[in-house]
């Protein structure tokens, strides 16, 4: 049986799969089981900022695996102590403490629970097109109907306002609002950038009304947008911040970063068996060191600006808009994106959708300009080929 047949037989069936089996990677390149090479602009859906087979991350994982893999938070641990100190050093100034977990949705769950603990309030305001994960709390903050409807009733008390509509947000925050949860750039929702007025306005409204500002930086964090965290572009000082995806160089890890307005959390109110395990902590330390020492956020800023500018030069009636911040770039088409993504794959470029009509690029931040220039050429070819779609 082929890899594809084996997986198809026993997998959950939840994912729409592409027909290739990826078996190896190096930097921004991937290989399938037929030895075809691809330029990777899926980037592990945001978990691949450090590049595939990153030597520093691989060495840290191998070394720590021979020392200690599991160590619950009932004990102290050297790697964990180092990591949380490191995280406080790179986080916004408002952040004081760190809760470690294992995924984006867990990080969001923790932020929601901590906002309730801090305020004694129950309700949340989220945004249309927002994506925050699939567990029941995070899903309640998520907008997309097809993710939500099969699982209703969700957690009560969530409302959604249009992204970048400050007046709507103003009207939605009441004295029952525990928190406002926002992405700085909406990822799954179509690579949509928050305006400074909206994001800073949300922060001011939260402070004025006693609600917590929760920034979801699961996708935008760790250099993706050209800064370590996207909120830095706007000088945001969140009360809670969820991070995950590239946090540990591709190993599963997440965190809720806890701000000064949240205050200390009552003992025993939350926790995780795997949270803060030394293996993930060692990987994360290596990943953050590598991001800093190789100036990957700066590289993402420069290369991302160049990439978006090159994409804007493509003359195709299919393009509605090119949007991006750093190496988080989207092309909104006037048509469904799937056939164009398939055509790109046939040309050796892997990219992602964001909703039905947006082509999204999340390459590893180690990618070089000649690879991205090949991506631009492939995109130009597929978007000017009238035999597709
Ligand atoms: C991917 C994502 C999540 C969920 O992360 P998982 O690790 O898949 O649970 C949450 N928020 C945002 C903004 C994301 O992009």
Determine the pLDDT at residue 51: 98
Both 306 and 270 in a single domain? no
Residue carrying structure tokens 């989207």: 330
Domain boundary among 293, 321, 338: 293
Choose among 343, 275, 354: nearest CA to 46.
354
Residue 52 token pair: 């595939």
* Ligand 1: centre distance to CA 387 (Å): 35
Q: pLDDT-derived band of residue 192, with 50, 70 and 90 as boundaries? A: very high
**Cα separations in angstroms, 74 against 20, 86, 267:** 43, 21, 12
* Ligand 1: centre distance to CA 75 (Å): 28
Pocket probe mutation, ligand 1, options 219, 243, 280, 355, max atoms within 8 Å of Cβ: 219
Both 95 and 223 in a single domain? yes
Both 39 and 156 in a single domain? no
- Whether residue 318 lies inside any domain: the answer is yes
pLDDT at residue 59 above 90?
Answer: yes
131 ligand 1 Cβ < 6 A = yes
Both 112 and 190 in a single domain? yes
Please state, rounded to an integer, the average pLDDT across all residues of the chain: 98
Mean of pLDDT values over 193-221: 98
- Whether residue 388 lies inside any domain: the answer is no
pLDDT at residue 14 above 90?
Answer: yes
pLDDT at residue 389 above 80?
Answer: no
pLDDT at residue 365 above 80?
Answer: yes
Both 279 and 318 in a single domain? no
Mean of pLDDT values over 108-112: 98
pLDDT at residue 263 above 90?
Answer: no
Which is the closest atom of ligand 1 to the Cα of 188?
15
Both 212 and 103 in a single domain? yes
Biggest distance spanned by C-alpha atoms of the chain = 62
Both 264 and 370 in a single domain? no
Q: Tally the domains of the chain.
A: 2
Task: Give nearest CA residue, ligand 1 atom 10.
Answer: 132
Which residues is 192 bridged to in the sheet?
A: 186
Mean of pLDDT values over 118-123: 98
Bond before 153 cis per omega within 30 degrees = yes
- Whether residue 102 lies inside any domain: the answer is yes
- Whether residue 377 lies inside any domain: the answer is yes
Domain that holds residue 112: 56-293
291 ligand 1 Cβ < 6 A = no
Signed CA dihedral, 9, 14, 19, 23: sign only: negative
Neighbours of 299 (CB within 10 A): 20
Neighbours of 319 (CB within 10 A): 17
pLDDT at residue 216 above 80?
Answer: yes
User: What is the DSSP pairing of strand 212-216 with strand 240-243?
Assistant: parallel
* Ligand 1: centre distance to CA 106 (Å): 9
240 ligand 1 Cβ < 6 A = no
- Whether residue 147 lies inside any domain: the answer is yes
Backbone angles phi, psi at 11, to 5 degrees: -75, 165
Determine the pLDDT at residue 264: 87
Determine the pLDDT at residue 224: 98
Choose among 107, 132, 73, 128: nearest CA to 274.
73
Q: What is the CATH number of the domain that holds 162?
A: 3.40.640.10
Both 102 and 250 in a single domain? yes
Both 149 and 278 in a single domain? yes
Task: Give nearest CA residue, ligand 1 atom 6.
Answer: 104
Q: What is the CATH number of the domain that holds 19?
A: 3.90.1150.10
Rg (alpha carbons) of the chain, rounded to whole number: 21
Q: What CA–CA distance (Å, rounded) separates 165 from 139?
A: 22
Both 204 and 256 in a single domain? yes
Pocket probe mutation, ligand 1, options 43, 217, 245, max atoms within 8 Å of Cβ: 245
What percent of the chain clears pLDDT 70, i.e. is strictly above it?
100
Task: Give nearest CA residue, ligand 1 atom 5.
Answer: 104
Domain boundary among 236, 267, 293: 293
Q: What CA–CA distance (Å, rounded) separates 56 from 249?
A: 9
pLDDT at residue 220 above 90?
Answer: yes
- Whether residue 389 lies inside any domain: the answer is no
- Whether residue 9 lies inside any domain: the answer is yes
pLDDT at residue 343 above 90?
Answer: yes
Both 285 and 304 in a single domain? no
Segment 295-335, tens digit of pLDDT: 999 999 999 999 999 999 999 999 999 999 999 999 999 99
Both 212 and 282 in a single domain? yes
- Whether residue 143 lies inside any domain: the answer is yes
Domain boundary among 262, 293, 324: 293
């Amino acid at each position: 049986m082929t890899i594809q047949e084996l997986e198809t037989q026993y997998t959950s069936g939840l994912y729409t799969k592409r027909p290739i089996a990826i078996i190896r990677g190096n930097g921004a390149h991937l290989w399938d089981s037929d030895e075809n090479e691809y330029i990777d602009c899926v980037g592990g859906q945001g978990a691949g900022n450090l590049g595939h087979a990153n030597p520093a991350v691989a060495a840290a994982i191998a070394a720590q695996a021979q020392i200690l893999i599991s160590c619950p938070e009932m004990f102290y641990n050297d790697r964990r102590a180092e990591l949380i100190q490191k995280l406080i050093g790179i986080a916004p100034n408002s952040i004081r403490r760190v809760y470690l977990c294992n995924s984006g949705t867990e990080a969001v769950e923790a932020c929601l629970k901590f906002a309730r603990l801090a305020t004694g309030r129950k309700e949340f305001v989220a945004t249309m097109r927002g994506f925050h994960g699939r567990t029941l709390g995070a899903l309640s903050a998520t907008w997309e109907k097809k993710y939500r409807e099969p699982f209703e009733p969700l957690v009560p008390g969530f409302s959604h306002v249009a992204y970048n509509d400050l007046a709507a947000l103003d009207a939605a925050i009441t004295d029952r609002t525990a928190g406002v949860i926002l992405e700085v750039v909406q990822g799954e929702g179509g690579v949509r950038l928050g305006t400074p007025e909206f994001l800073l306005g949300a922060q001011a409204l939260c402070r004025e009304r006693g609600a917590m500002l929760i920034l979801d930086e699961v996708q935008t964090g760790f250099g993706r947008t050209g800064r370590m965290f996207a909120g830095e572009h706007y000088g945001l000082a969140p009360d809670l911040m969820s991070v995950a995806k590239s946090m540990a160089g591709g190993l599963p890890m997440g965190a809720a970063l806890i701000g000064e307005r949240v205050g200390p959390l009552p003992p025993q109110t939350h926790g995780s068996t795997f949270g803060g395990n030394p293996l993930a902590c060692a990987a994360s330390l290596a990943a953050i060191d590598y991001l800093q020492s190789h100036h990957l956020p700066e590289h993402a800023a420069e290369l991302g600006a160049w990439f978006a500018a090159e994409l804007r030069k493509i003359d195709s009636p299919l393009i509605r808009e090119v949007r991006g911040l750093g190496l988080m770039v989207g092309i909104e088409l006037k048509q469904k994106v799937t056939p164009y993504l398939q055509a790109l794959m046939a040309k050796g470029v892997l990219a992602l959708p964001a909703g039905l009509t947006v082509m999204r690029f999340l390459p590893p931040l180690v990618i070089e300009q000649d690879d991205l220039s090949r991506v631009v050429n492939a995109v130009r070819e597929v978007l000017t080929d009238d035999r597709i779609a």
